[in-house]
Amino acid sequence: MRVVGRDVVQAFIVSGASAFEAETLQAWFSELAHRTWRNADALAAAFRNVVVDDTALTVFFLAAAPLRIKTIIDFRTGVVLVTTIERTRALENDTPATGRYSQ
């Protein structure tokens, strides 16, 4: 897929990301840039913690770091727009679809 938003990833990294966060983000970015998914179901099969809504907003939850990456994906054109990256607390029960996170 064509990933737009490398500047968002780099800005997060230079703003004080740990080496582990930087490695995790770079691996995630590379995975998106080198693969193609035809639809949200195919993407969800590849990424364990992802939520796609009806508006093309797609949120990736990288539990190991833990980070939340908000994107907009157009599966028709194969374009991913990275909009925000946020640090989160560990996912509660490892189920982002429920919207429940440890506080």
- The 3-state DSSP class for residue 40 equals helix
Per-residue confidence of the chain (103 residues) as pLDDT tens digits?
999 999 999 999 999 999 999 999 999 999 999 999 999 999 999 988 999 988 889 999 987 778 999 999 999 999 999 999 999 875 454 444 433 222 2
Note the pLDDT of residue 90: 59
Q: CA 35 to CA 43: how far, in whole Å?
A: 10
Q: Which domains does the chain have, with CATH numbers?
A: 2-91 (3.30.2310)
Please state, in angstroms and rounded to a whole number, the distance separating the CA atoms of residues 45 and 60: 13
Q: Is 68 left (phi over 0), alpha (psi -120 to 50) or beta?
A: beta
For residue 94, the model assigns a pLDDT of 46
Tokens of 82: 């990275």
Whole-prediction pTM value? Answer: 0.81
Residue with tokens 């639809």: 39
pLDDT at 74: 95
